[in-house]
Amino acid sequence: MDNKQAVTLWILIGLLLVGGGCYALPRYRVWQQGMEGEAELRRAEQNRRIAILEAQAKQDSAKALAGAEIERARGVAEANKIIGESLAGNEAYLRYLWVQGVQDGDAQRIYIPTEAGIPILEVGK
Protein backbone atom coordinates (compact mmCIF):
# COMPACT_ATOMS: atom_id res chain seq x y z
CA MET A 1 0.00 0.00 0.00
CA ASP A 2 1.46 3.28 -0.98
CA ASN A 3 1.26 6.58 0.85
CA LYS A 4 -1.66 7.98 -1.17
CA GLN A 5 -3.85 4.97 -0.47
CA ALA A 6 -3.11 5.11 3.25
CA VAL A 7 -4.01 8.82 3.41
CA THR A 8 -7.18 8.19 1.42
CA LEU A 9 -8.07 5.33 3.76
CA TRP A 10 -7.56 7.53 6.83
CA ILE A 11 -9.64 10.33 5.30
CA LEU A 12 -12.39 7.85 4.50
CA ILE A 13 -12.32 6.47 8.07
CA GLY A 14 -12.41 10.03 9.45
CA LEU A 15 -15.39 10.92 7.25
CA LEU A 16 -17.20 7.78 8.34
CA LEU A 17 -16.57 8.60 12.01
CA VAL A 18 -17.75 12.21 11.61
CA GLY A 19 -20.81 11.12 9.60
CA GLY A 20 -21.63 8.38 12.10
CA GLY A 21 -21.29 10.85 14.96
CA CYS A 22 -23.57 13.34 13.21
CA TYR A 23 -26.13 10.57 12.77
CA ALA A 24 -25.85 8.95 16.22
CA LEU A 25 -25.43 12.01 18.48
CA PRO A 26 -28.96 13.46 18.01
CA ARG A 27 -30.49 10.02 18.53
CA TYR A 28 -28.42 9.52 21.70
CA ARG A 29 -29.62 12.87 23.04
CA VAL A 30 -33.27 11.90 22.40
CA TRP A 31 -32.72 8.56 24.16
CA GLN A 32 -30.97 10.28 27.07
CA GLN A 33 -33.80 12.82 27.50
CA GLY A 34 -36.33 9.96 27.42
CA MET A 35 -34.44 8.20 30.20
CA GLU A 36 -34.26 11.43 32.24
CA GLY A 37 -38.02 11.90 31.75
CA GLU A 38 -38.71 8.37 33.01
CA ALA A 39 -36.48 8.95 36.03
CA GLU A 40 -38.25 12.22 36.83
CA LEU A 41 -41.65 10.54 36.49
CA ARG A 42 -40.61 7.78 38.89
CA ARG A 43 -39.29 10.37 41.35
CA ALA A 44 -42.61 12.24 41.20
CA GLU A 45 -44.58 9.01 41.74
CA GLN A 46 -42.38 8.09 44.71
CA ASN A 47 -42.77 11.58 46.22
CA ARG A 48 -46.55 11.29 45.81
CA ARG A 49 -46.54 7.91 47.58
CA ILE A 50 -44.45 9.36 50.40
CA ALA A 51 -46.85 12.29 50.80
CA ILE A 52 -49.82 9.91 50.92
CA LEU A 53 -48.15 7.71 53.55
CA GLU A 54 -47.26 10.75 55.66
CA ALA A 55 -50.86 11.98 55.47
CA GLN A 56 -52.13 8.53 56.51
CA ALA A 57 -49.69 8.48 59.44
CA LYS A 58 -50.93 11.91 60.56
CA GLN A 59 -54.53 10.73 60.30
CA ASP A 60 -53.79 7.59 62.33
CA SER A 61 -51.97 9.66 64.92
CA ALA A 62 -54.88 12.10 65.20
CA LYS A 63 -57.33 9.20 65.64
CA ALA A 64 -55.16 7.69 68.38
CA LEU A 65 -54.84 11.03 70.17
CA ALA A 66 -58.59 11.57 69.95
CA GLY A 67 -59.19 8.10 71.40
CA ALA A 68 -56.80 8.83 74.27
CA GLU A 69 -58.54 12.15 74.95
CA ILE A 70 -61.93 10.43 75.01
CA GLU A 71 -60.64 7.83 77.48
CA ARG A 72 -59.17 10.58 79.67
CA ALA A 73 -62.49 12.45 79.62
CA ARG A 74 -64.34 9.26 80.60
CA GLY A 75 -61.94 8.80 83.52
CA VAL A 76 -62.44 12.40 84.66
CA ALA A 77 -66.22 12.05 84.35
CA GLU A 78 -66.17 8.85 86.40
CA ALA A 79 -63.94 10.46 89.06
CA ASN A 80 -66.24 13.49 89.24
CA LYS A 81 -69.25 11.20 89.60
CA ILE A 82 -67.60 9.30 92.46
CA ILE A 83 -66.54 12.50 94.23
CA GLY A 84 -69.98 14.05 93.74
CA GLU A 85 -71.72 10.99 95.12
CA SER A 86 -69.40 10.82 98.13
CA LEU A 87 -69.95 14.51 98.97
CA ALA A 88 -73.73 14.48 98.53
CA GLY A 89 -75.39 14.92 101.90
CA ASN A 90 -72.04 15.22 103.68
CA GLU A 91 -72.07 18.86 104.74
CA ALA A 92 -70.12 18.21 107.93
CA TYR A 93 -67.14 16.95 105.96
CA LEU A 94 -67.30 19.93 103.59
CA ARG A 95 -67.31 22.31 106.57
CA TYR A 96 -64.33 20.45 108.02
CA LEU A 97 -62.40 20.85 104.73
CA TRP A 98 -63.26 24.55 104.64
CA VAL A 99 -62.08 25.09 108.22
CA GLN A 100 -58.84 23.19 107.50
CA GLY A 101 -58.21 25.36 104.45
CA VAL A 102 -58.73 28.52 106.45
CA GLN A 103 -56.44 27.31 109.26
CA ASP A 104 -53.63 26.22 106.95
CA GLY A 105 -53.56 29.53 105.16
CA ASP A 106 -51.54 27.93 102.37
CA ALA A 107 -54.55 27.02 100.30
CA GLN A 108 -55.91 29.23 97.60
CA ARG A 109 -58.82 31.20 98.92
CA ILE A 110 -62.14 31.16 97.21
CA TYR A 111 -64.67 33.61 98.59
CA ILE A 112 -68.07 32.13 99.24
CA PRO A 113 -71.01 34.11 100.57
CA THR A 114 -71.29 33.23 104.23
CA GLU A 115 -73.80 33.45 106.98
CA ALA A 116 -72.36 33.84 110.47
CA GLY A 117 -68.91 32.65 109.34
CA ILE A 118 -70.20 29.31 108.07
CA PRO A 119 -70.19 28.75 104.30
CA ILE A 120 -73.52 28.31 102.63
CA LEU A 121 -73.20 24.99 100.89
CA GLU A 122 -76.64 24.71 99.36
CA VAL A 123 -78.87 27.64 98.66
CA GLY A 124 -82.57 27.26 99.36
CA LYS A 125 -82.25 24.46 101.90
Q: What is the pTM of this model?
A: 0.46
> Rounded to an integer, what distance in angstroms lies between the CA atom of residue 66 and that of residue 60?
10
* Tens digits of residue pLDDT in 4-45: 888 888 888 988 888 888 888 888 888 999 999 999 999 999
Q: Please, which pLDDT band fits residue 66 given cuts at 50, 70 and 90? A: very high
**Residue 80 clears pLDDT 60, i.e. is over it:** yes
Query: Do 78 and 97 reside in the same domain of the chain?
Result: no
Domain range spanning residue 76?
3-88
Domains of the chain: total: 2
Q: Are residues 73 and 98 in the same domain?
A: no
